[in-house]
């Protein structure tokens, strides 16, 4: 996985009805955009170190160009 500062990472819900969870990448500590990342979770403002698994997808911070 590669991410940049400002990207959002979405972690899919694991059970039926469980919402996806999102966090924003604040720092990239790996090489070439690789993990680990320091992220901020949702609205709580908590920051943690995040090690993405296959349940996580990066959403580019820049809007797609047409």
Partner 1 sequence: MRVNDAVRRSAVGIGPERTIGDAAEIMEQAGVGALAVIDKGHIIGLVTDRDLVRRGLACRLSADARVDAVMTTDVVTVQADTDLHDVFAIFRTHGFRRLPVTRGEKFVGMITIDDLVIDLAADLADLARPITGEVLFAHRDIPAAVTTA
Binding test (CB under 8 A) with partner 1, winner from 14, 16, 17, 64: 14
Q: Could you tell me which residues are beta bridge partners of residue 58?
A: 9
Pick between residue 51 and residue 60 the one whose CB is nearest to partner 1.
Answer: 51
Q: How far apart are CA 8 and CA 22, in angstroms?
A: 7
Given 16, 17, 18, 31, the residue binding partner 1 (CB under 8 A):
18
What tokens does 45 get?
């403002």
Rank residues 29 and 61 by Cβ distance to partner 1 and give the closer one: 29
Q: Does 44 bind partner 1 (CB under 8 A)?
A: yes
CA distance linking residue 28 with residue 39, whole number of Å: 9
Asked if 3 is part of the footprint of partner 1 (rule: CB under 8 A), the reply reads no
């Amino acid at each position: 996985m590669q991410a940049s500062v400002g990207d959002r990472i979405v972690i899919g819900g694991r059970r039926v009805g469980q919402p996806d969870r999102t966090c924003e990448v604040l720092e990239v500590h790996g090489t070439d955009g690789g993990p680990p990342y320091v992220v901020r979770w949702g609205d709580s403002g908590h920051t943690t170190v995040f090690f993405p698994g296959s349940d996580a997808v990066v959403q580019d911070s820049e809007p797609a160009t047409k």
